[in-house]
Amino acid sequence: MKEQHIIEVNKDICIGCSLCKNDCPVNNIIIKDKKSVIKNQDCIKCGHCVTICPTKAITMTGFDEPPIEFTKQHTLDSNELLMAIKSRRTIRKFKNKEVTSEIIEQIIESGRFTPSAKNAQDVSYIVLGDDKSKYEEIAVKFFRRIKPIVSLWMKDAKEVTIDDNFFFKKAPIAIMVVTKDKISGSLAASNMSLMAESYGLGVLYSGFFTSVVNNLPKLRKHLNLKSKGHVVTTLVLGYPDVKYRRTAQKEIANVRYL
């Protein structure tokens, strides 16, 4: 985590119910004189103690915003969710229609609230808007240069036409997801895709652009990417200019129940 946060227990409000103690994943809370006591401040600051307390006695300092109180249970409709997942397609044709900054912020918000390993919250986002053709141009040049070499061992590469919009397909925005931990970044990207789709947007995970960014120092320099920043994926986003009418068939799941 970037900031120092202190977990505080308001002893006047704490009722010593032990809910926080019993839920703490690192056994960092004891009950003393019928009050919760935080053993040490060097924990992962997951916030379970804050979120489970029935009297709001536990708080964490150093955040810009207070916790959001739940006034109802937020659940997803399983059938709707599964059909949304099944009907999703990679979108490679986009309408010439802007994505508002409010929607972009909500997509990033869904990434921000995605769990990260050790609660590191070390996933960051680079939004490429109007200027993205500048970066695409560099990537296109690089791909055109390496295509003859790649074609030697990749049969499919020969058939691919690398036009000027090869990476971003004229989509209005692309969001690069950057982090050291690939799993945390991928989970954030997955939630972001779902969020984007809930706004009627289509998504292309651009593995090609991602691999150019991670391997071409010139492009990294242009994007001002630090040496530690690994781009996990690039989400190319916009309103789809294509309609799919049925699911694509998939292989049966390889599952073992033991």
Ligand X SMILES: Cc1cc2nc3c(=O)[nH]c(=O)nc-3n(C[C@H](O)[C@H](O)[C@H](O)COP(=O)(O)O)c2cc1C
Q: CA 161, CA 170: separation in Å to the nearest integer?
A: 15
Tokens (6 digits) for 247: 């699911």
Residue 166 within binding range of ligand X, rule CB under 6 A: no
Q: Which is nearer to ligand X, 10 or 186 (CB)?
A: 186
Q: Toward ligand X, which CB reaches closer, 129 or 207?
A: 207
- Tokens 């004189």 locate to 33
Q: Binders of ligand X among 128-157, rule CB under 6 A? A: none
Q: Using the minimum distance from each CB to ligand X, give the nearer residue, 37 or 84.
A: 84
Give me the helix-helix angle, 182-198 and 101-112, nearest 10°: 140
Report the residue from 140, 205, 216, 225 that binds ligand X according to the rule CB under 6 A. Answer: 205
Q: Return the number of the residue (208 or 239) whose C-beta is nearest ligand X.
A: 208
- Of residues 78 through 97, those in contact with ligand X by CB under 6 A are 89-90, 92
User: Rg (Cα) of the chain, in Å, rounded?
Assistant: 23
Paired with 33 in beta bridges are none
Measure Cα distances from 133 to 76, 82, 136, 174, 219 in Å: 37, 35, 5, 11, 12
Binding residue (CB under 6 A) for ligand X from 152, 248, 252, 253 = 248
| Residue 228 phi, psi (nearest 5) | -75, -20
Min CB(204)–ligand X separation in Å: 6
Tell me, by CB under 6 A, how many residues bind ligand X: 10
Measured from the CB atom, the residue of 68 and 248 that comes closer to ligand X is 248
- List residues near ligand X by CB under 6 A: 89-90, 92, 204-208, 233, 248
